[in-house]
Structure 1
Amino acid sequence: MRRAGAQPLLTALTALTSWVILVAWERLSELPGDLLGQVFIGIALIAATGALLRLASLSWLVVLSGQLLVALLVVHGFWGSGGLPTPTSVRAAVEAVASAVDSAGTYRAPVGDDVPTILPLLLGGALAVHLVVDLVAVTLGRVAVAGLPLLMAYTVPVSILGTPTAWPAFVIGGACFLGMLFADERGRLERWGRRIETGDRPRGGALIGAAALTAAVLVSAVLPSQPTLTLPGFGTGNSGPVRITDPIADLKRDLVLGADIPLLRVKVTSGPSTPAPSYVRLTVLDEFDGKSWRPGDHPRPQSQSATGEIPLLGLDPSQPGETIGWQVSVTERLASSWLPTPRYLRSIEAGSDWRYGADTLDFRAVDDVTTAGLSYPLTEFRPTLTADQLAAAGPAPDQIQDDYTRLPRAADSLRTVAERETRGASTDYDRGVALQRFFQSEFTYSTRIAPGNGLAALEHFLSPDGREGYCEQFAAAMAVLARELDIPARVSVGFLSGDRTTTDTYEFSSHDLHAWPELYIAGAGWVMFEPTPTSHTVAVPGYTRPTAQPSSGPSATATPSTVRPSISAGTKPRPETGSSGQDTSSELLTTWLPAVGVGAFALLLLGALPRALRRRRRARRMAAATPEEMWAELRDTAIDLGVPWPEERSPRATGLALAGTVNSVPEAPAALRRLVTTLETARYAPAGEQPPLDDQLAVDTETCLEALRDGASPAAQRRARWWPRSLHRRTTRSGARVRQEHASGVVDQLDPPADA
């Protein structure tokens, strides 16, 4: 910890840097002005408290405890029901924080002003960030390390919103952090003495810092960015979209959290009896690296734009079916870099900004455009597939077989499951139907598990102790098992089915998002299967039931009103944590948060008590500066550091025992000899002939103490600071007792004085 009162400039710059970095958090709420003012006041009070406590030379734990108490008081002051902390006002503050937590989990950022505010949560988080930064940079003197929590705080709105913070904020924050580094180094140099002026001041550090900031801004501006799929996230409330780069990894969040938001409307403009649109695809995940499914990097030349006719990949041109016209309207809330289209697309007019991959037929934006507010017509082809047709299909083309059966490594347990559940099946179609039946009959739909579709997660999901999940796990697991059987497979992400709003119009919402596997079958192309239990999808495709009649839709028997998404409108469940999840969390925070805070504060104070007592004892002894007090301080320091101290021995014998311990400091052996001589004289000299006290005694003692500490390990030094063993060890003989023993001849029989 720094010396008392050191680096006031660093304290101020640290507070300023934290506030500048946290300004970016205003984008998370539509009430930014209130947040910035509250954070500014809180950071200022925390910085002032830390400066005062460090000025009193208190331990870092006491400083942090005091600052934490101030932070809690700031949150209470802004969100409690009264100025002074009372049970009623504290409860109001806790309930405000609990409401903010629920709101953050329910509504997307930036959270609007027409819902419960998240400002209490943002205020508490911002003050926590500054507590960590101030502790590391100022109290512990590790300014460079403080850049890590500052960087993490800066990236919070970027990761949630998916859009970068304006570059001036980055430049100002970076400049403030460079100021912290300069202030820290200046303080270190000034401890060596007065700075020597040499005319022109060196400007190398400032130039290097400015060049680094400029390079960071310029490089970030020219680096290419990966297209992203924007889905509602950070809850699913009434605010703007959130960009994510891994669509399947965020399905759970979008399915089970918050309000249901309309994202897409489809009007059926032509076709027999306005058939309901279903399985509207956004993107195809065709690469599996053992950790997750991701979209592959497929060429998308200008000739493959979303204008005109689109080829039917792998589908026999003579395949019977029906043509259906769509008019698609995307709401402003779905700002996606992937274009919603049906699985079998005949034609589309969405513009040249959207291009498809020849191997996937999913459309991705080539420029910085999104689907928000986009409207376009298209034509769907719905083939009439039969079980007999699919069962009689031949092998897949060699290129499809090679590209879509790759797995990162052999997973013996997964292959064992795949072979066991498809035993007796003779074709790829039969094996696909067997896998679908396996999931439908032996698994349970639930959103209570953690998301994940890597090999480790899938192995647990398929084990007898697993077998519980939602569409992400079902789609990913079936695709992996199919590839284990050398069946070309991939995963699609999009919407299952929407709600009919008029005779010919259907609305898809955030709760209609879904994932499903597709297996390649010659003559039919990529054929959709449905492993997710029908408790949440209602029906499986009709062509996957061998006795079914020909089917041109998801189910031969399902009607538009019965084909429901994984979580359907009107019956879309909340997270499976009980209907009183919000009340439970509020009650938990209201009941336990104050108790936990008080308990933690008490533990911090209790942990700092031994060190405080030891520091007080040392200060009292050094102020007295008598030989006995100096000798007692040397003894206690040795005991605290684990250095052997020969009890009941004379000062000379003890000094000889310590001589080898203090020789790490060149001046220490001589200082120890002088200290022993002064103590012996004080103890054994006749009454009235005691040596006069001078400053050299304290200097010699400090030298010996420094040598003891220098020779101890870092662990021993920490133990000596926080758990000094001398506090519970009996004290050595007092000087009065030694003089009494000397007068009676006892001391003479043990060890003679130095002058004897």
Structure 2
Amino acid sequence: MNQRRSVALAAGTATLLAATPLSTVFATYSWAIYCAFVIGAVTGAGIAARALRARLWAQLLAMLGALVVMVTWLAHAPHAFLGTIPTRATLQSFADLMSSATADIEKSGLPVPDTPGLLFLTSLGIGLVAVLVDVCAVGLRRPAIAGFPMLAIYAVPVFVHVDSVSPIPFIIGALGFLWLLVTDSVDRVRRFGRRFTGDGRGVDVWEPSPLSAAGRRLAFFGVAVAVALPLFLPGMTSGVLSRLNGYGPGNGPGNGNRPGPAVNLFATLAGQLNNGKSFEMLKVSTNDPNPYYLRFAVADELTASGFRNNAPGSGQAVTAKGIPDPQINHKGVSQHEYHANVTITDFDMGRAPYYLPVYQRLAGTQRLDGSWLYDYLGDQVYSNRSSTKGKAYSFDYLSTTYTKAALRAADLIDPQSSIREYARVPTQEPAQVDKLVNQLIQGKTTEYDKVEAILAYFSTDNHFQYSVTTKAGTSGSDLVDFLTNKQGYCQQYAVAMAWMVRAAHYPARVAFGFTRGSSRQGQTYSLTNQDLHAWTEVYFGGIGWVPFDATPPRSGSVKTDWAPDANNPTASSGDDNGGSTQTPGGVDASGEVGNAPHDPRDFGSGGGSVVTTDSGSTAWRWWLLGAVLALLIAFAVPGVRRGLLRRHRLAGRSRGPSPDVTVEAPGQMQVVTEPAAIGEAHAAWDELVDTLVDYDVPVSDAHTPRVVARRVIKELDLFGEPADGLRLLGRAEEQARYARVPEVSGDLGAGLRSVRRAVAATRPRRARLRAIVLPPSVLRRWRYRIGTGGAGLINRVGQVRDTVVAALSPRRLLARRGTR
């Protein structure tokens, strides 16, 4: 019995390469070591069984036995005989490990840690895949079927990742599978002895087989297409289409530890605020008598176009002590623990990451599984797997108040601290902003006094007003336009203040969330899309991120003692109180009372773009219109191409007879001596054939033109002028093909038009429409050219590769050395 060791080793190696996608699931690479041991044991057992001439079922038992022994040894299972042979108690420990793996899957976020349960589950699963691959490739000699269990491994990261998986692990696994196919093919070919060419010349060992070379080229081309094609398909994340919206990874300052943004928070917020009707998004109940804003995300990267948000990248599961201690040990900072319940009715980002609204200073969560992570950099709860739709959860938090004295006494921020990243400003920051900030903070000595001066600037005394519209400017900077026109709404106020605080060299960012709203029953707040809000957060050393709301008061907004209303700074209850007061029915500077609607326009949008009414709410319409136009153009191209080709073919007939053509009396023969006229006869016949193909009339290249004309006349029951025109075209083509001195009579163009009208009249409406919009003659010609062109390109690339391989082949070099 042939042991096929080379195929068995290739099968084991291919299985290990197919497991590469698991690197996107685990935090470290311990799993790879476990898998290597398991696959090695299975492969060795299979080779040994075949060396003993065991049957296939015995080979299967040997590999399963080796798998159990290796898994027992790797798991350090208790009560195992000699540490490798499982007993009944060992099997019970296996069950415990499986239960532990299930719990780890439920509570862990990606990437998962190398827990004993997950390592046991992974090694056992990969071992079973190795057994199946060996049986298919070696035992059954069907290596192509082995691709199915290998593909099952790749399905794991595809299933658990909401975003797209890197194509590199797929390429590595695909190359392993191709290696297995090539090894099996070589093993089969070698059984037939020495190879010879068609002319009887012997083929050296180092020379590649033409068939195998073509197979390699097709294989690599297929892998390349499989990797590239999803990038151009709608709905595939992180593809070419998703990069067209400008949400790609930025190169401006900000936290570089996070991946590129998945959701543009500014655009999402603007789209909700621009909705023509108000609808409830969630309900929150809390025993806090005076809660601040409910918060869900931040934008902390500042580019020349404004603030932008990045997808969280520092998450730990909220169920695994992933929430840091929220307590602040600083004089003048008071904290009280409260509990809140949230029921989401219609709050959803549409795609990952999904954010959960919580109050700042989160202490703990309830009714949330391990798919929900806490990002300590942005103080936000998110998930890449679970949606917020219909979510109900609870959490504990510390309501925090600050005195002005405490903020003035905040610690100095270490210049080398990573928090300094949030104080960066673009290199092309407008000079007007620096000049204004320097004027505002002149004479101020503490961080808080400077921040307070910037906050006080956004007052009606400085002619700032809340408005649902903004004025266009000519400065080229949306920030400068807003500071000049002094008209805007919450997002613009939040971005402007955060930018100015950074210009003063202090960390600042923009937070997103909800105001208290205007609908309240007891301690339950019903928050709608009109309650969405944005404000500024400033970092103070030893204290953390402190909220400041520069937006003029409106219904549901909160003004605090440390961040009072810029229009009424004396309304606070004192310097050391640290409390907050709600401003119900706040009046904006324009004189409108109550819950004034938001304007979706904003200069601080992510992705380096400006969120305006057009881009925020109607951009999708322009994209849709562009897609429809592109689709219409794509459908029109074949028909236009067919019309141009028809006009080109008939152009010669419209110019009249050639000077070298002897014209006789009407109805007499024309002696054609000009090659151009012969070409016109061929062009007329080609147009006739394409017309028949377009209208789905069968045409055989094996028939002569006269036979084709006679058959079409009979099948379509043509008579009169169309039949005469068809006979004329057939005779002209025969004369042009076979006659030494071709002779034609009649107008070929008129004959073509009459035949076309007659053929179209005999076909159903669907065939006539297809002949106009998507003519089959054009599509078939394009398919043929694409196929032959692609094959030619692959063949040329293969020839270059074969030349290089033949020149650098070690076997050939050694053979040359042996002849010396």
Fold-level similarity (TM above 0.5): no
Give the TM-score normalised by structure 2.
0.40
